[in-house]
Structure 1
Amino acid sequence: MATLPDLVELVRAPAALSVPGDVVAGAAAAGALDRRTPALAGASVLLYWAGMAANDWADRRLDAVERPERPIPSGRVSPGAAVGLAAGLTAAGLTVAAAAGGRRAAAVAVPLAAAVWGYDLRAKNTAAGPAVMAACRGLDVLLGASGGRLTRALPAALTVAAHTWTVTALSRREVTGTDPALPLGTLAGTAVVAASAATVARVPGRAAFRRRASTAPAPAGRRGRPATSGPDDAPASRWATLAALVPAGLAAWYAVGYGAAQARVVAEPSAGRVRAAVGAGITGLPALQGALTARGGARLLGLAVAAAAPLGRRLARKVSPT
């Protein structure tokens, strides 16, 4: 009978630290951060664990050759237990999503679950694999946005999806190694992703407000002269600058950590270096999610989301995220 540590390894439990940030970033972008967000994040984690268990079940014969230490080929978890756990976690994730977010959340969670299973059972080893996995993460962001305006969360969803594409493309070479062209391409993609996350989102209506403010008559100062900017404007300006620095700083942190791992693959494209880069992409994702959350206006929450990155790296030394 499988033990709890075996099941933890099967679902890569610590890697789930990279999941709640999807929902939080989507909610922040859509203006939907509320009491439903933690429950939707929990549903996302359940679906993630389901996907990991289903992945190992689908790959059990391949893992028997390439990764015999994994829970199923080593005999610590039976194939039936793994697929049963995957199905149960999927049902639980869908139930929690529907209970927390109603029909709108369910309308995103159902295709998300379908994409997860579709990747594991069909798309993983095809050319469509990276795109399908990217769609899973993009839908995960939109799950968080389901209580608000989904269109506002599309840039965040596409950014996370693009990052996921790079990680998935690298993961396909974890056993065999690769040539420098692949990590060079994913490294360029990482630079674009980081630049996108660092850009402060434009809040609808702000430009119109500025136009109205600029055309409004200035209040008169002494002797009828227009009043000039006073010292009270300086703190507001400094705060705006600081607010812009938070997503930029977190995006830079993400880019340096994940980018350095990919640069090492360029220098030595061995299987071990590729696995390390994939791990860096998984454990570094909270920094990107934090940048997107801060970009959506929730700066302190963005810092909290990003704090999961170093914790994930420490836990990855005990349970592999790949």
Structure 2
Amino acid sequence: MSTLGDWARLLRVSALFTVPGDALAGAAAAGVRADRRILNAIGCSLCLYEAGMALNDWADQDEDARERPDRPLPSGRIHPAAALGTAAGLTGAGLALAARAGRPATVVAGALAATVWAYDLKLKHTRAGAAAMGAARGLDLLLGAVVAGGTPLRPAVALSSAALAAHTYAVTRVARDETTGGSSVAPLAALATSAAIASVLGAPGFRDRADTDAKSRPGEPAHAYASDAPGAGRPVSGILSAQGFHGARRLTAPALALVYGAAVARPYLHAALNPSPHLVQRAVGGGIRSLIPLQAALAARAGAPAIGVALMALVPMARRVSRKVSPT
């Protein structure tokens, strides 16, 4: 008979802490407030993420029976039909939450759900698998950008989506060897990718110069913007007051980018020096958890440093839960 612990392991609940930051970073990048509508995006993301986890184990039953016989499905603690039904139910729930947020959110959520199912059922063991995973994270951030009426074509949205996709692609490449071990190529490539992302986000000269003039945005509350330079308003997502915003962002975003780079450097380097299954699994786990400081840095760089700082509170919780339930 299955227990809550079995379901927690099937759904890899420790990885859930990496999900809310996608939508929040997307909203910040789109220059909109993190209001009640963003809760629909976060709920949708959580449902689709867990749907993917359940579907992943259902699709990998034979492989897990050989390499991970203690997993809930091959061990018989959870019936495969229950896992598949959970995946379908959570997908439906996620799409329903997106539908409440409007047509743009429904379209993006539909593409995200299709990507998740295509990855688990077909693409996972192909060359397109890592790219599909990266695309899923990028779409998840885009969901947060459109759900609150933001403009998805802003440069900050493209940068944030690309950063999340690149990071996820790199982690997925490393994860291919987590049960057998492998070469140093994937961990080194992931290390280089993360270093490049951290360098871009930490660059002091980066700006999102999309049109953010409050006067050109009919219906936008005046207090949603703060002065960034004489004559130029900038979005702060309704989080910080105008006074002191620019200085806070200048300090917070590079600091969070540094935290992100440091979070992934050690486990990737260890796996590169010794690509044993244990160290590769640790590198994958570190790569998954480091999504949180990455999302925090993206939010801060896009103009919501308070959201970035708040997201960092999820890091110790994710680490604590991952000691009991592995995110991989």
- TM-score by length of structure 2 reads 0.86
Distance (whole Å) between structure 2 residues aligned to residue 49 and residue 305 of structure 1? 20
Inter-partner Cα distance in structure 2 for 1:290 and 1:133 = 20
What corresponds to 1:57 in structure 2? 58
**Which has the greater radius of gyration?**
1
Matched-pair contact (CA < 8 Å) for 2:20–2:46? yes
Q: Where does residue 281 of structure 2 map in the other structure?
A: 275
Give RMSD over aligned pairs: 2.1
Structure 1 pair 65/299, CA: closer, same or farther in 2 (3 Å)?
Answer: same
Instruction: Report % sequence identity.
Output: 47
Aligned counterparts of 1:86 and 1:125: Cα–Cα separation in 2? 20
Query: How far off its partner does 1:212 sit?
Result: 7.8
Q: Does 2:199 correspond to 1:195?
A: yes
Of 241-250 and 162-171, more deviation after overlay is shown by: 241-250
Equivalent residue runs for 1:107-126 within 5 Å? 107-126=107-126
- Residue 174 (structure 1) aligns with: 178
Deviation string 1:69-106 (CA, Å, 9 cap, x unpaired) is 1100111101100000000000001101111x111100
Contact 2:170 2:186 in 1 (8 A): no
Q: Deviations over 1:116-175 (max 9, x none)?
A: 000000000011110000000000000000121001212111110000011100000101
Residue of structure 2 in register with 1:90 after alignment: 91
> 2: distance between equivalents of 1:164 and 1:274?
15
2-side partners of 1:98 and 1:128: how far apart? Answer: 29
Partner of 1:18: 18
Secondary structure of 2:191's aligned partner: helix
Whole-Å Cα distance in 1 between the matches of residues 201 and 76 of structure 2?
Answer: 43
Corresponding residue for residue 139 of structure 1: 139
Report matched runs for 1:1-322 at 5 Å.
1-33=1-33, 34-99=35-100, 101-146=101-146, 147-152=149-154, 153-199=157-203, 200-205=206-211, 240-322=246-328
Unaligned runs of 5+ in 1: 215-235
What's the offset of the Cα at 1:305?
1.0
Structure with the larger helix share: 1
Matched residues, number: 299
What SS does the corresponding residue of 2:17 show, helix, strand or coil? helix
Partner of 2:217: none
TM-score when normalising by structure 1? 0.88
CA distance in 1, matches of 2:230, 2:327: 51
Residue matched to 2:218:
none
Q: CA deviation at 1:238?
A: 7.6
